Structure 1
């Protein structure tokens, strides 16, 4: 049977339940710590656990935690608080993006950039394979997704090396793939490399595409077969909420409803309800956004409840499944 890899081991994909496809739970990114940007430090296990309680109370079951090593990952803490909350977590092997790499690696006297520069493509592959098959952060917690990322309308040599090494790790392990796009840019360029490497795009989820609400771009991305992560909910600074819904429904009209997933990508203390700053929190999507989407989808002639069942339950069972390596 198809399986997903959680911090507590492998489970049948049918056990994932209701899934947020991209979020952050507990992380202390070295770059933001060095810069003193405390809003980006999710460093309270108690507050983060309280957020998981909100998620579960709203009907949530599983979260894909997209926190990679260069974004301050600590899977030991995440596993503990997830188990306390009774929430399944899929953890991330691989890397995030190069703008994080000027920071020093915690406990070492080199930066992430220096470490990455010193690795060959094959050494990147071997590192990510170990994270999937052996464990991460000095634990036996194994990654359930392999990840790479690119910058804002940029893709530098280091990112391309990481991308190809991560894709090699996917070939070896069968792990599902996740990519970061900065503000929703460069997805087609990423897909060109995926094609060069002979990877089936159906094993890839591309994040943050709703930061760039371009229906033509979304359509071209979806036509390759990838999963699309709509994970910018509540961020009115980019565009009003109805824009995202229109983009989703445009894809549905074109037959891509089996490729859409939803998450929050909450990575700031001020966005959480439990860090003392009055944020909306991890329950918001299921409690407040969900009924709004159902209403707007209904007004457009769709069964919003059925669509959300696909986005939250059915599609993640495919997107987070390991393939036969």
Structure 2
């Protein structure tokens, strides 16, 4: 079988993915963000349309199980906007939930959502999303990562990791790749922009994992001003082929329709700066070819 990106409209040739926002949210709700739920279908449609108008071709929604994925809405939104969408299974940090599924069934749940569909009417997921802690891996993180590894081995799916402070990625690699046998190129280390340590980033890149810098849609992180320099450093160190970019829009106030940066900012605000610093070839690699490899899977 040839690699395929598992979108909400079916499996897709990775070459057709287009310019990709590799980590974002159309729908998201958590008890940690009261009053800022992403739950409005017309607003999600408008955000996708704005992203498409800016030159975007694909969005990977990292919203996992139990946080208002609205998975059944995604196929129609994708078709209407002409934007490929990838949905996620998995679990976030325990603090986001009032109630969690039975831990004994997490691997089964993730696998079912990847191979059968999300709920009774939703599409199949194309990504497993789990989370580390603040500075290390607590028991919940270790259990979810063990379940994610089992689901990966059953399906081939990539695993995206939310690092709360951009830290503990080395512990994630030790667990997922060292102990649980997940190939490094199937691991996407997220939010590394929150921990702008160039030496650590280069060490993580040497593992072979993908490094995701996702958060410019927040436009409020203390390390945002260091993002461009961080990417330039990694490209100059020879790791351009492992870099991913995403907006990570997690609140209604951050959407472009609410005068926030939203999904389009990745292409209207960040892309020109990247092109000026790195050249168009590197930008095409980061926004188009790298996501095609990161999310293109030999499904089984």
Distance 1:38 1:79 in 2: 26
1:64-111, Cα deviation, whole Å (9 max, x unpaired): 00010132211112222222212110000111222212x1xxxxxxx1
Give how far 1:241 is off.
4.1
Tell me, which stretches of 5 or more residues in structure 2 are unaligned?
A: none
- The answer to whether 1:293 aligns with 2:274 is yes
- 2:252 alignment counterpart: 269
Counterpart contact for 1:149–1:180, Cα < 8 Å: yes
- The answer to whether 1:169 aligns with 2:170 is no
- 1:107 alignment counterpart: none
Root mean square deviation, CA, Å: 1.6
Counterpart contact for 2:218–2:248, Cα < 8 Å: no
Match of 1:119 among 81, 103, 115: 103
Distance 2:299 2:22 in 1: 22
- 1:224 alignment counterpart: 207
Distance 2:250 2:71 in 1: 16
- 2:261 alignment counterpart: 280
TM-score, normalising length from structure 1?
0.87
- 1:259 alignment counterpart: 242
Give how far 1:306 is off.
1.0
- 1:150 alignment counterpart: 132
Counterpart contact for 1:17–1:60, Cα < 8 Å: yes
- The answer to whether 1:51 aligns with 2:35 is no
Distance 1:213 1:320 in 2: 25
Give how far 1:188 is off.
0.5
Match of 1:320 among 284, 295, 300: 295
Counterpart contact for 2:160–2:188, Cα < 8 Å: yes
Distance 2:224 2:136 in 1: 27
Aligned 1:128-147 pairs, distance under 5 A = 128-147=110-129
Tell me, which stretches of 5 or more residues in structure 1 are unaligned?
A: 104-110
Give how far 1:236 is off.
5.3
- 1:11 alignment counterpart: 12
2:18 counterpart SS class: coil
Distance 1:70 1:151 in 2: 18
Distance 2:221 2:262 in 1: 19
**CA gap 1:60/1:98 in 2 versus in 1, 3 angstroms:** same
Distance 1:131 1:240 in 2: 35
Counterpart contact for 1:132–1:173, Cα < 8 Å: yes
- The answer to whether 1:71 aligns with 2:40 is no
Number of residue pairs the alignment of both structures matches: 298
Distance 2:299 2:69 in 1: 27
- 2:221 alignment counterpart: 238
1:193-222, Cα deviation, whole Å (9 max, x unpaired): 011112211111111000111111111111
1:192 counterpart SS class: helix
Give how far 1:154 is off.
3.3
Give how far 1:235 is off.
4.7
**CA gap 1:234/1:321 in 2 versus in 1, 3 angstroms:** closer
2:256 counterpart SS class: coil
- The answer to whether 1:204 aligns with 2:205 is no
TM-score, normalising length from structure 2?
0.94
Counterpart contact for 1:134–1:140, Cα < 8 Å: no
Distance 1:238 1:167 in 2: 31
1:175 counterpart SS class: coil
